[in-house]
Amino acid sequence: MLTVDTSKTPFSRYGSYLSVCAEDGSPALTIHNCLKLFNDQIFALTFHQDGAVVAPALSATPWCLTVTAGAGRATIYLRDDNTLVMVSEGLDCTLELVTKFGFGGQQTPRRFRMLASSVGLYVGIDVPVGRAHLSGPMEERPGPIVRSRDCILHLQTEGGRAEMVLEIDPVEPYPHRPLIAPDPEGEIAAVRAAWDAYRAPLPAIPAGREDGAELALYTLWSATVRQGGNYAYDAVIMAKKFMCAVWAWDHCFNALALTSVHPRAGLEQFLLPFEFQAPSGQVPDCFGRDGALPFGGTKPPIHGWCFSRMMDLHPWDEATLRKVYAHLERWTDWWFTYRDLDNNGLPDYPIALDSGWDNSSLLEHAFHLESADLASFLVLQLRALARIARTLNDETAARQWETRAGALLDRMLATLWTGDYFTVRRSGGDLVRQEPTSMLSVMPLVLGNLLPREIYAKLVEQLRARYLTAHGPATEAYAGPLYEPDGYWTGPIWAPSTYLLVDGLRRGGDAALADDIARRFCDMIQHIAGGNYENFDALTGQGLRAPGYSWTAAVHLQMLLEMAP
C-alpha cells in the first residue's frame, strides 16, 4: 500500500483544489488552495493535547491523512473539490488563516465564516462535534481603535471527539446551507475507490520500482484539478503547493506519461493550451483556472516531438489526428512568422524565459538569440506534421513537411555549429564565440540519428564529460565557474531536459547510455530525494524547490514504464 510523505508530496486527491502539506521544522500542517496562480498557504493547522502544542506523527495514503500524538488521533480527508474534513479523537486544534488580509465571524455556535480577502477566497467552517470559538490576532487601526480579526479558530473535543468541515471557494457559500456531518468511513472509502480505479490500468513495473511508480502516479492523480474557466479539461497542474498552474511545455510530459495509463486524459493534457490558441497560432505561456491568459511569452515548441511519442504509444483516431495537426501547423507557422527577427529562417528566443530555461547561461548574452535547441525542436515538429499527414494519407503534405525539416536542420548546422560545439547567434548579428557551459548547448541530441554522426558523437562526449553526474545531467557544467547547486537552470537536474536527452540518445543508437541516465534519475527520486521535486541538486540528489511536481512525476513514471524488467 502506497504511503505518502506529506513533506515531500502534498496530500490531495483528483479534482480537488485543496492540499495539505507538512513543513520541515514546524508542528503545523499547512492547507493550500490551488485556484490562484502561485498561491501559497491559506491556513496553518496546529494540534494540541492538554493545552500544549504537539508535533504529531503523520501517516498518509492517497485517501486519508492520519495525525497521531500520544493517545490522540485525527483523520483528514478531502470530501470533494473544495471541502476538507477533519475528525479528531482526543486532539484539540487551532486553525489559523494566514493570508495577508482576512477576517472571520461566528454565524452560529457550529458555523463560522472567514474571508481571505487578499486572495479572493471565501471560507465556511462547520463544527458538527466539539466546542469552537474565534480569536485575534489583534490589529491597530487609526486613532485609538484596536480590533480582532477573528481569523483563528480554536476547536476543542467534546466527549473526546471533534469534527470540522472546512470549505474554501472563490464563490461565497450560501450561509444557510444545511450542516452535513462527516461520514468518515463512507467518504474515505469513496476516495479510496477513486484512487484504486485510477491506478488499475498502470502497466507492469520492473521489480523493486513499484513504489516509485505508484508515488509518481499518485503525484499526477493528486495534482489534477477539475475543469472550469481556463481549463477545458480536468487539468494536471504543476503542483498543489505554490506552482498552481499549467505551463505550455510542462503539460507535454504529463500528457506523454498519462497516454500509457489513461490515453484520453493524456490527450486532454496535451490539448490544454491549444484550446486557447491565438489566431496567430501562439499558445499561452502559463495559466491558472481563472484570470487572463498570458501571451506576452511562450514556451519551446516540443509539442510535435511530444505528440509523435504519443503516437508511438496509442492509435489515435482520425478526428484526433486532424485536430492536433491543425494546432501544430498553426503553432509551427507562428514560430517562423513571429519569432524570426531577421527573417533568415532560424527562429529565435526573444528572452530566455521562452526557452523554458529561465536563466540559462547560454541565453544571457543578448536578447533575440537563435539557439540550436529551438531549431531542433522545430525540426522534430515539422517531422511530426509529416508523420501525421502521412497517417492521414496526405503524402504530398508529408513530403513538404519533411523538406522543410531538412532545410531547417541544414540551416541550423551551417549557422550555429562551430565545429566543436553549438552556440547561439544574436538575430541579425554574430555568433557568441565563447564556449558554452550550459547543457542547453547539447540539447540538439534530442534529434538522435538525424544529426550528422560526428556532431552527435561530440555532443555525447560533452554530455558525459561536463554534465553527467551520479544522479543525472546537470544543467550547467558542474566543474565550471557558473555552476550553482540551487541555481535553477544553472546547475540542478531537471526532469524535462533529462528525458529529452534520454529519448534522443535512444534514437541515436545509445540505448545503454540512455538507460543508465534513466536509472540514475529514478534512483535519485526513489532513494535520495524521496519525492518528485521541481528540480534536484546535481551533486547530492536532494530535492529542490516545489515538492510534488507533476512533470517530474510524469518523467519518472515514463522512464519506469520504458525500463526493461
SS3 409: helix
| Spatial distance between the Cα atoms of 312 and 432, rounded to a whole number of angstroms | 38
- The predicted model gives 82-94 an average pLDDT of 97
Contacts of 170 (CB under 8 A, 6+ apart): 35, 120, 121, 122, 290
At residue 140, the pLDDT reads 78
The CATH number of the domain covering residues in 201-562: 1.50.10.10
329-380 pLDDT per residue, tens? 999 999 999 999 999 999 999 999 999 999 999 999 999 999 999 999 999 9
* Chosen CATH of 18-174+181-192 out of 3.30.70.20, 2.70.98.10, 2.40.10.500, 2.40.440.10: 2.70.98.10
At residue 41, the pLDDT reads 87
399-441 pLDDT per residue, tens? 999 999 999 999 999 999 999 999 999 999 999 989 999 999 9
Find, among 558, 539, 549, the residue nearest to 475 by Cα: 539
pLDDT tier for residue 146 given thresholds of 50, 70 and 90: confident
Measuring CA to CA, how many Å separate 283 from each of 245, 249, 528? 15, 10, 36
- Whether the per-residue pLDDT at 37 is higher than 90: the answer is no
| Spatial distance between the Cα atoms of 478 and 555, rounded to a whole number of angstroms | 23
225-94-145 Cα angle (round to 5): 105
Domains of the chain: which residue ranges?
Answer: 18-174+181-192, 201-562
282-330 pLDDT per residue, tens? 999 999 999 888 888 899 999 999 999 999 999 999 999 999 999 999 9
- Whether the per-residue pLDDT at 38 is higher than 80: the answer is no
Grid coordinates 545531467 are at which residue?
Answer: 473
160-199 pLDDT per residue, tens? 999 999 999 988 888 888 888 999 999 999 999 999 999 9
- Whether the per-residue pLDDT at 265 is higher than 80: the answer is yes
- Whether the per-residue pLDDT at 145 is higher than 90: the answer is no
- The predicted model gives 41-61 an average pLDDT of 95
55-60-65 Cα angle (round to 5): 70
- The predicted model gives 45-65 an average pLDDT of 95
The pTM is what?
A: 0.96
At residue 506, the pLDDT reads 98
- Whether the per-residue pLDDT at 39 is higher than 70: the answer is no
Decide if 18-174+181-192 and 201-562 have a common fold: no
At residue 296, the pLDDT reads 86
At residue 473, the pLDDT reads 98
pLDDT tier for residue 144 given thresholds of 50, 70 and 90: confident
- The predicted model gives 469-486 an average pLDDT of 98
